[in-house]
Amino acid sequence: MESNTTCLEVKQLELWYGNFQALRDISMAVPHNRITAIIGPSGCGKSSLLRCFNRMNDLIPGARVKGEVLFDGRNIYAADVDPTEVRYRIGMVFQKPNPFPKSVFENVAFGPRVNGITDNLAEVVEHALHRAALWDEVKDRLHKSAMELSGGQQQRLCIARALALEPEVILMDEPCSALDPVATLKIEDLMRNLAEEYTIIIVTHNMQQAARVSDMAAFMMMEEDRAGVLVEHGPTSQLFTNPKDKRTEDYITGRFG
Amino acid sequence: MTSRYQSPSVASDGQALPSLRRRQNRLREAAIHRLLVACALVSIFTTVGIVVMLVVQAAGFFKEVSILEFFTGTRWTPLFDPQHFGVLPLLGGTFLTAAIAILVALPIGLASAIYLSEYAKDRVRRVLKPLLEILAGVPTVVYGYFALTFVTPLLQNIFPNMIVFNALSAGLVMGMMIIPMVSSLSEDAMVAVPRSLRNAAYGLGATRFEVATRVVMPAAVSGIVAACILALSRAVGETMIVAIAAGSTPKLTLNPLESIQTMTAYIVQISLGETPHGTVEYYTIFAVGLLLFIMTLLMNLIGQWFVRRYRQRY
């Protein structure tokens, strides 16, 4: 396993929404087949940074990016890169479960279909549902509406939907914030399993969760002008037990945020 | 009523004044309440009155002509001998023009809705949407003459044998008239689709067009269907354009180049004509009117049912 190699590398990344600078001078490396957690107080730009990894910020009018995000050595913001290709290889799971108002099957088949993969669709869907630990619960209702599933099931369906494209990276934006503790634990178990094959980046405001699931952690804060900066990043155990920066220590010991 | 009100000057001592004023306020509020209810009832009574009149007068017609003949007869010649009272030619004319209209309005209206909701920048949409809705404010008589004096000559270059009064020209222009209805209502339904569904699709590598056609449109389908039904209902009930441009020859045909007559245009013809009151010919317009009323009412009910359905979804 290429566990120590770099999958994504951020170099001096800056992000603006109109005149508002949301991220300032972010540089970090995300290793292959590891779970990297991005933590920090509300509004510090965690989700904004996550959306830079698959160019979702392109969809927000007035958003501008400076700097580079290297994915397997190639800058995804280079002029000749098609953002849909980036999003095809770097999947995303959102804060609130957002299944399409279609059947369970059609939800998972959506990604392959729009990317022109129509061979063995049933197998692709079944495999993705297995990987997301949802198959046993939905195998008898594949053609029923996904809206009838519970919140936790819907979120695992969204993970299956992302997995169906066999992405290399999965971005998760507070994937458990709308779920109860039992459903949360299921997703966390799932993430541990998926990390054997995928690189995962998770944004979370729940530090226990970051400590439980992640291998690497990045701590962000906002500066006076509300722009997000990266305070420190490193192995999770080190960041939580022996932080280098005073601000990280204050945050993880619950002194603010 | 006014005699019950007391002017404040009647009160001789200052103590009584506040309670008197309160009493006056209450009376005034009650009066305002009744006035507003009365205003609201005007339109309900009007509708009830129209329905009663239509039913009573149409009943007079159906005493003379059997319902079977009315609905199955293929000739409509109430003004000539021998008289025939088959409504199918009028119904056919109405459906022919309405079908042409919806064939024009559906693709163009939907495309405009997709553009406005998925592609247009906020600033562009704020200018374009009201502009498009102005189309709906043009008096229909203007559309009628536009069809007759501009579109028909244009079409005659393509179809030299086409008659001056024809279903095609009227249908096309009617389609342009209902484009704003289709686009505006469809756009409302598409904008109501949550941002999160679009993000999910973009996150899976979908293009803007795939997001619009595979996620937004299916999610908004009940609103889009409602828009089409309401637009169709408008086309079926539209009078001026077809009265001016489509002709006055009741004919059961699918050929859009021919002259036809719609139900509405027939009612106009008789209402403005010299047909003596109390005759069967005169009563025909109530039978046709009742049928038209039932058709548009049904379509509006179905359309509104669809609108409610998509509103409940999110």
pLDDT tens readout for residues B188-219: 999 999 999 999 999 999 999 999 999 999 99
Residues B52 and B105 in one domain: no
Residues B104 and B167 in one domain: yes
Residues B196 and B271 in one domain: yes
Residues B27 and B146 in one domain: no
User: Residue B122 has what pLDDT?
Assistant: 87
Q: For residues A1 and B182, which has the higher predicted lDDT (pLDDT)?
A: B182
Q: What are the helix (H) ranges across A97-252? A: 104-114, 121-131, 135-138, 151-163, 181-194, 207-213, 236-241, 246-252
Question: Which among A180, A155, A101, A129 has a CA at the least distance from the CA of B314?
Answer: A101
**Does residue B75 lie in a domain region?**
no
Q: Give A3's contacts (C-beta < 8 A, 6+ positions apart).
A: A31, A32, A33, A34
CB contact (8 A) between residue B201 and residue A56: no
**Does residue B55 lie in a domain region?**
yes
Closest by Cβ to A87, choosing from B122, B198, B203: B203
User: Which residue from A minimizes the CA distance to B213?
Assistant: A114
- Please report which confidence band the pLDDT of residue B3 belongs to, taking 50, 70 and 90 as the band edges: very low
User: Residue A118 has what pLDDT?
Assistant: 86
Contact residues on chain B for A94, CB-CB shorter than 8 A:
196, 199-200, 203
User: Residue B132 has what pLDDT?
Assistant: 85
**How many domains are there within chain B?**
2
- Please report which confidence band the pLDDT of residue A1 belongs to, taking 50, 70 and 90 as the band edges: very low
For A3-21, write each residue's pLDDT tens digit: 468 999 999 999 999 999 9
Nearest CA distance, A104 vs chain B (angstrom): 14
Residues B54 and B147 in one domain: no
- Say whether domain A6-252 belongs to CATH 3.40.50.300: yes
Q: The domain that contains B144 carries what CATH number?
A: 1.10.3720.10
Residues B172 and B243 in one domain: yes
Interface test with B, best of A50, A54, A84 (most B CBs within 10 A): A84
Residues B159 and B308 in one domain: yes
- Please report which confidence band the pLDDT of residue B310 belongs to, taking 50, 70 and 90 as the band edges: low
Share of chain B above pLDDT 90, in %: 69
Domain extent for B51: 2-64
Residue B142 has pLDDT above 90, yes or no: yes
**Does residue B128 lie in a domain region?**
yes
Residues B54 and B152 in one domain: no
For A149-180, write each residue's pLDDT tens digit: 999 999 999 999 999 999 999 999 999 998 89
Mean pLDDT of all residues belonging to chain A? 93
Q: Under a CB-based contact definition with an 8 Å cutoff, are residues A47 and A56 in contact?
A: no
A10 burial type by CB count under 10 A (0-12 exposed, 13-18 middle, 19+ buried) = buried
Residues B28 and B170 in one domain: no
Nearest CA distance, A196 vs chain B (angstrom): 22
Q: In whole angstroms, what separates CA B197 from the centre of its chain? A: 33
User: Residue A244 has what pLDDT?
Assistant: 92
User: Residue A141 has what pLDDT?
Assistant: 95
Q: Which two tokens stand for residue B313?
A: 């979804």
Residues of A with CB under 8 A from a CB of B: 54, 56, 59, 61, 84-85, 87-88, 91-92, 94, 96, 98-102, 110-111, 113-115, 158, 161-162, 165
For chain A, domain boundaries = 6-252
Greatest CA separation for chain A: 54
Residue B295 has pLDDT above 80, yes or no: yes
**Does residue B215 lie in a domain region?**
yes
CB contact (8 A) between residue B203 and residue A101: no
- Please report which confidence band the pLDDT of residue B16 belongs to, taking 50, 70 and 90 as the band edges: low
Residues B7 and B125 in one domain: no
CB contact (8 A) between residue B219 and residue A101: yes
Q: Under a CB-based contact definition with an 8 Å cutoff, are residues B169 and B151 in contact?
A: yes
CA-angle at B311, arms to B308 and B314, nearest 5°: 145
